[in-house]
Amino acid sequence: MNGSRKEFGLLLASLYGGETATMIVRATRDSNHPMAYGVDQNGGWHLLMPIADDYSFVEISGGPLSLIHWKHPETGRRYMDLMCGVDQFHEVFASLVDDITRRVQTDDSAPESVLQTVLEEWRQLLSPASPAISEKLRKAIFGELEVLRLLAIGNPYRAVESWVGPAGGAHSFMTPRADLEVITSSQEGLSVVISSVDQLDPPQGRALLLVRVSVRDSPSGRSIHDQVELLTELGLPMSALVKRLAECGFLLGVDSDDARYEVAKSPVIWEVTDDFPGLRSSDLPESRRHAITRMKYVLDLTSEQPLTGGQVKTLLGERRAEHDQA
């Protein structure tokens, strides 16, 4: 559970335990910036940023998220009040609050300016709401979250940073010694669908691993949110996960998340060497390649020898340790 979710939960427990105040407020743990968490009698969650009496800002209202003025009834102190009053958006709001409090601690700008900057970044990222995503994309996201979970077991601090595909990276994951290109499939066998001419291009100075994740529908399986919960339990920050998912096209806490999936078997992993089958961009002359805007083909890897667990650990573990010690 991330920091603000825990704090909001404690405040709600106090609220439902008999408090009669209109809003219960508790200061954040950052003593250098006197922000505060708050919950109100209607169950709304608040981040309160103290501001000077003459400070002005543009208020936002009329949706699940609002930014308004609030004056403490006892101290009379004036606050910028960022509030979410809709339960289904509390998950995303908590991640937004965590991002704001973290950025306030590291940014030299005035805290109230940081709040508005981060809020605008998130509004651009998450709005307007995207149309319903396809079943294929849901399964692809679920498969990448499964690979992220496996990486997080070895190094939770770097795992989410390595997930670069959603932000436009050449491959799904980039680690110091190898890139991982994840392909999710619900079909039997060992075929994969390659959807671009450069998808199997190895990165400069690193290995490329092709990871096939078998994902299928299962009423007893897990949702995307369930996958995220597993990752946060391993130590990955919720705010970073929410951002990555939004970049994938999935808004956690907003988009429907009723589907349940399971990983049918352990991921199958191959190293893409020079003699590995499939096209590379270098196979096509540049004078012809520039005109290809879309391509897709099926690669049957039944005859290719996958890597053993020890070989994968060598590529992602021992080599990464060498990098860390360098």
Tell me the residue type at 197.
V
The model carries a pTM of: 0.71
| Cα–Cα distance, 70 to 83 (Å, whole number) | 11
Written as tens digits, the pLDDT of the chain (326 aa) is 457 888 888 888 887 666 556 788 888 876 677 899 999 988 899 999 999 988 989 898 877 889 999 998 888 899 999 999 888 888 889 999 999 999 998 888 899 999 999 998 888 776 655 567 889 999 999 999 999 999 998 788 789 999 999 999 999 999 999 999 999 998 888 999 999 989 999 999 999 999 999 999 999 999 999 999 999 999 888 888 998 998 998 988 778 888 999 998 899 999 999 999 999 999 988 888 888 888 899 999 999 999 998 999 888 864 333 334 33
Residue 94: helix, strand or coil by DSSP? helix
**Residue 248 is encoded by which pair of tokens?**
């994938």
- CA-wise closest residue to 116 among 47, 180, 62: 47
Query: How many residues does this entry show for the chain?
Result: 326
CA distances from 199 to 44, 77, 103, 155, 175 (A): 45, 56, 35, 26, 17
- Residues in a beta bridge with 38: 25, 46
Identify whether 128 is preceded by a cis peptide bond (ω within 30 of 0): yes
Buried b (16+ CB within 10 A) or exposed e, 73-91: eeeeebbbbbbbbeeebbb
Phi-psi region of 76 (alpha: psi -120 to 50; beta: other; left: phi over 0): left
DSSP string, 5-40: HHHHHHHHHHHHTT--SSEEEEE-S-TTS--EEEEE
